[in-house]
Each structure stands twice: as C-alpha cells, then as structure tokens.
Homo-oligomer: A and B are copies of this chain.
Amino acid sequence: MGVRAPQEEWMVPRRWYNIVPDLPKPLPPYLKPNGEPVRPEEFEVLFARELVRQEFSQERWIPVPPPVRDVYLLWRPTPLLRARRLEELLKTPARIYYKFEGVSPPGSHKPNTAVAQLYYVSKEGAGRVTTETGAGQWGSSVAFAASLFGVKATVYMVRASYGQKPYRRVLMELWGAEVVPSPSDRTEAGRRFLAEDPNHPGSLGIAISEAVEDAVKTGAKYVLGSVLNHVLIHQTVIGLEAAEQIRYFGDYPDYVVGACGGGSSFSGLFWPFYHEKRVGKAERDVKFVAVEPVAVPTLTRGEYIYDLGDTAGLTPLIKMYSVGHGYKPPPIHAGGLRYHGCAPTLSLLVAEGEVSAVAYRQREVFEAARLFAQAEGVVPAPESAHAVKAAVELALQAKREGRPVTILFNMSGHGLLDLAAYDEYMRGVLQDVEPTAEEIMANIARAKALLRQ
C-alpha cells in the first residue's frame, strides 16, 4: 500500500483537455456593453493570437508545444500523495489523496499557464508582457516564465502588498521582471488614483487597469492568470497527470475537491475527470466540489448573471456566478480567492448541477491547514487550505456514515511565503468576516442592471 504515485517524464501530458465541447450546454458568449458578442479578433489587441484561438476553440484536445512541455519538466509531473497520516489522525475510513502543485519554482499551479502564455507571446514576436498581481503568486509565475522565454515582464503590484510582502517582489526581480507599485505614474489610470491620494494603497482592480492600459498603449501583450478558457485549458496538466497517477493505487476518486477563486486550479484538476465520466472511463460516479471563502461567496451566495470581469469595467461582460463587480472582498489571507466572479465554464457547470460548492470561514480553514501540516508536513497556501478543510469535512462525514470513499484534492501551492498569515492565526488575531445579505444583494442588483437582466 503505497503513499506516493510514481513521477515519470512520460506522464507529463502532450495535449491539454478543453471542456468546452463537452459542456452540457453551449457556453454563453462574452458580450460588449451593448449586448453584442465580442468577436475573437477583438481580443487580439490584448492577447496573443494562439491564446485567442484557444479561448474560442471547440477542439477537445490541444497539443502542448514541445518547448512548453520542456519547461513543464523542470517540476512536472508533480507528486500525487496519499495522506495516510491525516487519515489515521481523523480515524476515517476515507482514503485521502492530494495533488501537490507547490513543487513548481514559484510554488503554485500558476506557472502551468504562465509558461504556455509566455511561449505563445514570444513565438508571435511580442517582446514584453504586462500583468497585475496582488500578493505576487501570479506575478512571480509570469516573471519566471518570461525569464525562460526571453520576454520582458512588467508586473503592476498592488502597492500595499509591494510594501508589506517584499518576498514575492524580490522573487519577481530575481527572475528579471520589472515590478511597479500600483497605482503608479506610468498610466493615466494610475495617475488619476495618485492624484486622489498620493499614498493610495492600490487594489487588484486598479492594477489590472494599469496593466491593460500599458499593453494597449505600447503594443505589449497582456497576460491573465485565471477565469478565461485558455487559462483553464493549460491547467488540465494537473488532472491529466492525477488521473494517471491515482490508478497506481488501484483507486479512483469519489470526490474531486479544489479551492475556487477564478477557478483555474480546481478546473485544472477536475476537467479530466469530468471528461472520463462523460465518455464512460470514470471508474466511479465521481462528484466535483468547489470550495470558497465565506468572505467571498461567489458560488454559494452569488447569482449566475452577466457581469464585468473587473472592477473598472475594462473587460467584456461574462456569464458567471458573481457577487457583483462592485463587491469589495474583505482582506482575507487567501488573496487568490478574493474574486467577485468565477470562470464561465465552472459557473455553467455549477448552474447545471454538475459541480457543487461549499464555503468555509478563514479560521476553520487555517485550523485544518495546521492539522495537515502537523500530519503530512506540507504547509498549505491559504488558498489551498480551503480544499484541505473540505477534504477533512468529507472524510469526517465518511466516518460518520462508515463509507470508505476516496477523496482527491488539489494542494495548489505551498504556504512558505504566507507564514505571516499563519502567525496571525496562531496568535489568535485572525478575524472571520462575512458579508451581509444586503451588501451582496445590492452589488448583484447593480451588476444585473448593466444589461437589464
């Protein structure tokens, strides 16, 4: 009875899976403010052509270019482990497995798509990309990928994080990226916010505006770390490997679980299992569980509507679960889950009942993460800790019901650069925050008014 699945080069996929042709309904189109569908070529102002092609692709399988796969080999295949010590601690009959994406150089799943995007950008001749980052997980992945393909990267980093969380800034600089605290005087958007307040702490919404404005004005390409189809497609290397690896245990998941912000790490894990289910290859009636913070309850308390992808209104309208683009996520430590919306593919699957969603509070999430660290060693990223909490709850439910179910969850990153958050948790100063019903309803109403839904 093993603990680790084998990791061998051939397991790293040569093609990505695209769920779009397998969805139970057609994916609603991206819309302009006037209600007309966005045409693919309109995306090409910002994104590399091949990425736009993938965004609108109806092909089920998309080849991984050999130079991208070569980079994946620097850390892939990632480990798939059975958390046997955790099972024993919980005295559960459940078998718990986790796919560990924290072994990548930036420490999370994000480079799975950053590497692909930077490859296409470089191949199409753009010499520079722009992007935004909060705490720095996405920005450091872009810096890493840009360094490998000889592309310059400018990362607009939320000023509060730039000052308070210098480690990921240093990591980006080490990989050669230019890191600009946002709001900055580089863009009109930035200057406008600086004029209001010279010490403006910034926000992800403002940083997006700066990165997009910079790209449009200079001919650089913009890269995005979640939500869009092409981003999620690249993440399917996670689930394709996991589906191979879990069979080494003679096992198959009853539950596939992942934390959900924009939805990319969870989709990367569960899409391939969804495909197996659809074509009759799944060995059990596998269920899919998305986990989100109570503080940003997109899937559990939001509505499935057309809403903006960003705060400032630069993106098209996207049909998705949303708590409204005007919602101000409380400052929880799981920065990657502070998003008002959710990937359109995942939203459709939740709306159709193919995926269920559950929400947890910050403190109970950190408690589960500490339990996991003490049992299995790995310190989960605050985002991934949400998946840990859900897996623990499912395992305890299995114990109550006496059912030896198999749970597979995504440990999307490690928490070694988030230890200050664990310190707050252990010192008892972490707060649980929950939006009021009025706050959510008002924000959703404002979003629905955009298209008079």
Contact = CB atoms under 8 A, between A and B. Distances in A.
A101 B144 CA distance: 21
A174 B4 contact: no
Given A148-B377, A175-B374, A376-B74, A422 B170 contact: yes
A79 B8 CA distance: 10
Contact of A170 (B75, B170, B171, B423): B423
A187 interface: no
Contact of A9 (B2, B174, B379): B2
Given A107-B416, A148-B85, A377-B74, A422 B174 contact: yes
Contact of A167 (B74, B144, B174, B419): B419
A166 interface: yes
Copies in the complex: 2
Contact of A416 (B81, B176, B417): B417
B6 A426 contact: no
A3 interface: yes
Interface residues of A, number: 43
Contacts of A422: 170, 174
A144 to B, nearest CB: 6
Interface string A193-212: 00000000000000000000
B6 A6 contact: yes
A379 B107 CA distance: 11
Interface string A345-376: 00000000000000000000000001001101
Contacts of A104: 377
Contacts of A398: none
A435 interface: no
A378 B170 contact: no
A73 interface: yes
A44 interface: no
Contact of A144 (B147, B175, B377): B377
A173 B426 contact: yes
Contacts of A2: 9, 73
12 contacts: A4-B73, A6-B6, A6-B8, A7-B79, A74-B377, A85-B148, A105-B376, A105-B378, A166-B419, A170-B422, A170-B423, A416-B417
Given A148-B377, A170-B423, A175-B373, 18 more contacts: A2-B73, A4-B73, A6-B6, A74-B81, A74-B376, A103-B103, A105-B376, A105-B378, A166-B419, A166-B420, A167-B419, A170-B420, A170-B422, A171-B416, A174-B370, A174-B373, A176-B374, A416-B417
Interface of A: 2-4, 6-9, 70, 73-75, 79, 81, 85, 103-105, 107, 144, 147-148, 166-167, 170-171, 173-176, 370, 373-374, 376-379, 416-417, 419-420, 422-423, 426
